[in-house]
Amino acid sequence: MGRKNRNKEFTNLEVIDAGAKGKSIAKAPDGKVIFIGNAVPGDVVDVQTTRKKRAYYEGTATKFHSYSDKRVEPPCIHFSVCGGCKWQFMVYEHQLHYKQKEVINNLQRLGKVELPEVTPILGSKEIYFYRNKMEFSFSDSRWLTQEEIQSGKDIEDRNALGFHIPGMWDKILDIEECHLQQAPSNGIRNKVKAFAIKNDISFFNTREQKGMLRTLMIRTSSTGEIMVLIQFYEDDKEKRELLLDLVAEEFPEITSLQYVINSKGNDTIYDQEVICYKGRDHIFEEMEGLKFKINAKSFYQTNSAQAYELYKITRDFAGLTGDELVYDLYTGTGTIAQFVASKAKKVIGVEAVPEAIKDAKENARNNGIENTEFYVGDMKKVFTNDFIVMHGHPDVIITDPPRDGMHKDVVAQIIGILPQRIVYVSCNSATQARDLALLDEHYKVTRTQAVDMFPQTFHVENVVCLERR
């Protein structure tokens, strides 16, 4: 016996807001909220629910009675299928409005934060082609469009080089043109695919775990350098070198051509040997005369221009006079630490990834910075009383944790040592709000500034300055 379809249909609903995870919001006649993925605030739609929870529904707009004036025609041909730029159909100013609203909402509702005057969110000058790093996956089972399926034809070309279909680990959407990374990113990706097909180099099959080509990573930098890394699963030296030579010949502007042979189950390269085939094994990014060496495994903020803005705000909020001992928690490759170093007495960076700390030390040395020190380890284990005794009591803590926010022991440790000022940089204002609530007894939020690093998505960065009460 088939399961009863519990999905509901609602007609003529006005979409009233956009909320968490980028979904738009309407109210059902029973008063519950409906989260809708394919509508913009201001649209009037019929909705088919796809999921029912105690407090809300999830659904899809099936018919549009009228379109919102917040809509814009998405420039990308892959828009409706690709999960990458979910807000491409919304005018950029409105994207910014909803991002700012989300941050304020989280800080006030989840963090119970008493907010100072909120300055407007800092939008990105470039709203397309702003990313400096993209990763594409190869697959021999390309995602088929509705038209292809309905045509009933036998489809021979199933090779794809592109992005995972949201929620489907084994299906890749073939990408012809992506609007996220500047040239020659699209050219390189399309040529790599064409060369591989022409020379019969097999694409990866996720289910059967076979095939040669696995992933392609392209990194570009503001200095004009380009890194290309091809990850192979099975290896065939002759074919591998043929492909790499074709790419090098076609794109002489590539300054770093590398590869990995990775026959393990997952395709992360962090525990793999990266082999440099042509050029250098790194590229450089530059900011205010500081140079940051980036290798294939290095973390670097993916929107370089907005990262510069974010770091300037962070430095400004830190209010340094040259006398302060600063801790830069979750320092990554030490970019913030080096960016503020000339304004502080000393900066101490802590980070879990050993390679990042190695880069941080090397970059600081190459930049002639002598007042930074970097330490590796899990924050809650490294950032202890003994560490403070050894390295000194911080006047200012800058913290830039991953999406999960700070571990509660790290927050407790900050409360234990009570620095005068904290600058909290966050890519997830919900976890930031949770941590601010824990700090509230001792700290007052004096400044807050949202920064848009990822136009066309619902993601937003937020910087908060906290002063001791």
Give the residue numbers marked as catalytic.
427
Q: How far is the CB of 407 from ligand SAM (least distance, A)?
A: 6
User: Encoding tokens for residue 83?
Assistant: 């999960």
∠ CA(321), CA(323), CA(326), 5° rounding? Answer: 95
Residues 221 and 284: beta-carbon distance below 8 Å: yes
58 burial level (CB within 10 Å; 0-12, 13-18, 19+): middle
DSSP, collapsed to helix, strand or coil, labels residue 39 as: coil
Residue number with CB closer to ligand SAM (301 or 429): 301
Q: How far is CA 111 from CA 104, 272, 434, 452, 457, in A?
A: 10, 40, 5, 21, 24
Residue number with CB closer to ligand SAM (102 or 400): 400
233 is in an annotated binding site: no
Residue 110 region, left (φ>0) first, then alpha (ψ -120 to 50), else beta? alpha
Q: Report how far residue 284's alpha carbon sits from residue 443's, in angstroms, rounded to the nearest whole number.
A: 38
Q: How far is the CB of 330 from ligand SAM (least distance, A)?
A: 3
Q: Report how far residue 231's alpha carbon sits from residue 158's, in angstroms, rounded to the nearest whole number.
A: 20
Q: How many helices (H) and strands (E) does the chain have?
A: 11, 21
330 is in an annotated binding site: yes
Residues 455 and 130: beta-carbon distance below 8 Å: yes
Q: Which residue has the tokens 């060496």?
A: 293
Residues 6+ apart with CB under 8 A from 39: 15, 24, 26, 45, 61, 64
Q: How far is the CB of 467 from ligand SAM (least distance, A)?
A: 21
400 is in an annotated binding site: yes
What residue is closest to ligand SAM based on CB?
A: 332
Residue number with CB closer to ligand SAM (285 or 395): 285
Q: How far is the CB of 431 from ligand SAM (least distance, A)?
A: 12
Residue number with CB closer to ligand SAM (118 or 353): 353
Residue number with CB closer to ligand SAM (28 or 353): 353
DSSP, collapsed to helix, strand or coil, labels residue 230 as: strand
Q: How far is the CB of 345 from ligand SAM (least distance, A)?
A: 20
Q: Report how far residue 348's alpha carbon sits from residue 374's, in angstroms, rounded to the nearest whole number.
A: 6
Interface with ligand SAM (CB under 6 A): 299, 301, 330-332, 335-336, 351-353, 356, 378-379, 400-402, 427
Q: Report how far residue 433's alpha carbon sits from residue 411's, in angstroms, rounded to the nearest whole number.
A: 12
Residues 461 and 425: beta-carbon distance below 8 Å: yes
Residue number with CB closer to ligand SAM (246 or 352): 352
Q: How far is the CB of 189 from ligand SAM (least distance, A)?
A: 26
**Which residues does the annotation place in the binding site for S-adenosyl-L-methionine?**
301, 330, 351, 400
Q: Binding site membership: which residues? A: 301, 330, 351, 400
